[in-house]
Structure 1
Amino acid sequence: MDQLIQDKDKILKCTKHKKKQIELIQVIDTQNQNQNQSFFYCTGCIFEDKSFDNSNYLQLDDIVDEGHKSVIKRWPPINDYKIIEKLSDLCLWGDANVGIQEKIVDFFDKLRREIHCKLEIMQKKMVDQSLENTFSKQKLVEQYQDISNIIDLRNLLLNQEGQSTEKVQERYKALVREMEQKKDQSTSHLQSLLNLSEILVANINFEHAAQMRQKIMSQIDEITFFNQHLAQNNSLEANNSSCQQIVDQILTLVSNKTNFCSDTFLLSLKEQLQQANPLLLTSISRQIFQDNKSPIDFYRLNEEQLEQIREYVHHSVKLIEDKNYENQIKDSTQMKNFTSLIASELDLFDDDSRLQLNKFFIEVFPFLKKVNLNSKYSSNNIQNFLPLINFKQLYPSNLVIQKNRDNSSTITSQTNESAYYCFSDLILDANKKYVFRFQVKMKSPISFAFIGLTRLHPQELAHNHPVLDNLSLILTYENSFIKKHANSGIDNQLKGSNFQFKSNELLLELRVDLSNKILQILDLPNKETMLALSQNLESLLLLEKNLVIYVSLRGEQSECNLLEAKQVHQFL
């Protein structure tokens, strides 16, 4: 082996530092590297690389010395390297816990000296089971080798006599890239191997057997012709205390409030347990609950809350067993009222998200139906005036304005030459709050979109000539991003960091409350960013009259859709 490593060191020299040997190989984050960047590092490369991260590399010696007999940390590339660390730890456990069959035979040999005739059958049974079901380091390493292709990597490093470092590196790159493409598959297979190995390790429990042997030996030690009754009383008292603890724990589990057990049954069970064989009770494992699990504190809930839980469980089971039950919920008055209330919000989501949300509402229906939605929802709270909105052009232009069947409006630009304007014919009331929802689509890299307010003087209305006061948000489309233009009047960032989105489509909510100097725009559906009118322009919202919604577009096939127009009592 030493000779092989020496031969390897003579050939694998750093292409950058000719006198230095390759020490490390990059195995993580290789897909983000330049195609021409070396995966091999010598000590000189490490010193020069200011961003060097040791966790992304493997030592050649580790692969050569341990790759054929153990689990190599950081190989192969997977999503969760804790899996490999645990597999490596299991190998160490395997080294320290070899000879499980010998331990079983040794245990029964010791016990056989006291009660050898009655235990021979049990000994054979336990040995046979250990051969079938116990953990084996050899099996773990063999399966790890099949999944990780570590042997191929090791052979690549050992069998490169007569080849240049560049040739070896090209073969290495191909292997690494192949394994990185199988990341998900390797992760799944290694996780399965880890789960199975941990189960097999946990399946071996010598502590319980040792306790039973100690109890038997203790019973023998207590045989005496002196103070016999005292010894019996002491032993009986200890056993009774241990048994009572077990009885109390069993009763606590059974009497859980969600089981709705009768007092008569619990009293009868307690009497039977107290009369049970003490050896049977004391042999029950003290580890009652699963790791990191504890009982739910149902005893803290009142009867009404428990009834709600019972109803929810019954509802969930019925959803699974009765297909018509789901349709009954959808057709119920409560569900129709609820979906009507949030219909406008659901329209902001894609089909898959709406499907998941509707499924969730059905699952929690027992809780929804307890809310009196008729008293919460009134037509006075929200007034939809989308049918009243009609857009006009300033003058004949290349904008196409279409009023859709659902009363939404679609405005489309047909040219890249210049920006064209249009405005609504509904003058906004200064004492009302409005919410407008727009969808903007851009395709051309020179696209612009203006969304905001403009003012119309009565004498100019007949001439379709608005006065622009920069009460708007200007959007541009650059490098696949929709961004806010620097000259926007709606430019005051109230929420979020940057008003830019990697998409050619964007949903926006425009909020207008002239009397309170509010002119804001939010992204939808997340509402993670909010822009407001610049403070130096806010006074215009109070001074100007005849303010209307206006839209301006530039860029072929640029499109702006007015989806909603509502009057509200407050902004949500």
Structure 2
Amino acid sequence: MAPLNDQQIVQNIHLKAKNFNSTQSVHNQINSYFTQLKDEIIKKIDVAQKKAINQALEMPFGKEQILKRYQEISQIQNLKSLLMQDQNKSFALYQKQCKDFIQQVELNKAKNTQLLQELLNQCDQIQQLIDFDRLNKSKIFLLDFLDSLNFFEDQTQSQVNSDNNLNNNILPQQDNNKIDQLMKLISNKTNYCSEEFLNQIRQQLQKLSHFFEQISFDKMNQEGKKAIRFSELNDEKINNVNEYVEHLIKLQDDPQHLQSVKNSFQISNLLNVLDNKFNFISNNYRDNLMRYLIETYPFSKNINTDEMFSEEQSFNILRSLETNYIKEFVKIVKKKENLNENGQNFDNSQTYRVQQKILESFIFEKRELENTLKQFPIFDLLLLLKEKSILNELQFQKSNLYDGNQRIEIVKNMNNQFEISINQTYYQGSNKGITNCISQILERDKKYIFRIQFEKRNDPNYFMIGLMKNENFNRYYGYNDQMSYYFRLENKKMKYYGGYGIDKFVKGDKTQLLDENSTLELRVWLEGKQVEVLNYPDYSYKVEIQDKFKQNLSQKDLCLYFYLEGTKINKSQKKHQQLSNFENQSMEEIQNNNI
């Protein structure tokens, strides 16, 4: 015998071999099982067959009963007896009996029709007493059960089961009972099944457990979906969900329910708040919110809207204001914000100057008047009510970049025009490069038009106009802020070169040449994110800032900007500009009026 670490294994094998049944014994056991099963099944079938036949014989309406009932209703026997009477009787009497019979039949025609229809219905019911579809399904069920009998388990499946059993000894025990899984589906809280019904279902499922064990529950749910965990909600929440579902169904099927919800007290009050003109809600948003409030009404109907307002009277006053009043109020608030953004002190505002005049003419408490006008600088709005020139208020600054503060010359002539140039006549330094010249910070809500003419001293000359940030004024060239229009004067023509922000052609194209004496019109409206360059007065040429740079117009310290280039020749290079400010006019109005 080969050496082993454990000789007990050999002894165990001998013991098992002694106790094993022979192959013949296994065959006998199988034959015995099926013989016994067959006998018991045949006995059950015989009993069921006899029971069914007896029930059929005891049916209340067999063929004889149907014929007998038909004869009673139709009175065939009475007619037959009448016809078979002795012919020797008086003919008059016989005739009277026949007439009476016919008259009686005619009188009972409706009743007899009903009785015969009932008899016909009973005949149909007899055909339906035996449900052969159900019986055939039961037969298939029994045959499938017999097919599932398996004495020797598949070896591959046996190995899988063995591995699973091994894993179950290592991992925590899990509830894999498939009947329990089915019961979880059936007993979902939202089904409101009674305990009595659930107990009956469980009992019947347990009888069929053998078949359910063959069903794979691995893909019970749709891919990516899980059963809604209603069981984790309390009864109150479940009832709310049920009410919500019933509400949605009614909305689909019952127009009166929809109208009732629309007119409900809660939704009406919420819409009163929503429709306040100060909210500036779009119609599209309102419609979407209205649909949402209607759909979710079961959850909001218990909200106490009586306590919605802290000051309902104030709300109603504001709600009743006309649209024009609200627009004017918004203008005042916006003006205050613009003054704050531009760092303008109240003492320097137009409203402050009007306040001083008021105090000179009327007796007011100065502090109250000042506080009111600070909150509502209404007199600064008067600048927006009519066209007003800003030439008297316009200021220009010279950049320190490359000694621009020593080289730039700014002159306001008799025609109320500004002449800006590089004049190096008395400049002693060595810088000859480019520098900046800017205006004061532009107001965001104003719409500006700057008309500019250019004079060259060399051929070609390079020019840029546009906007730049005030804080970058002394740091670098304005065109770095990507809000500039770049062109050259050469061969007595004005030629676009571009590449610095104002490059989107609306009229004309890049190849179009303007006369060198042309006046360019620069239009600026920061709040509307518009910067445009046109040829004045023809307006046959129009270039605007590119969309990707419009975000730069949201900055708060933007100024009108000129690019000034020095030359080695000690002569002045001039730029003449005529400036105007048009208020309360859109860019479209300005263009249509050819201002």
The structure with more helix, counted as a fraction of residues: 2
Whether these two folds match at TM > 0.5 is: no
TM-score in terms of structure 1 length = 0.32
From the CA coordinates, give the structure whose radius of gyration is larger.
2
TM-score in terms of structure 2 length = 0.31
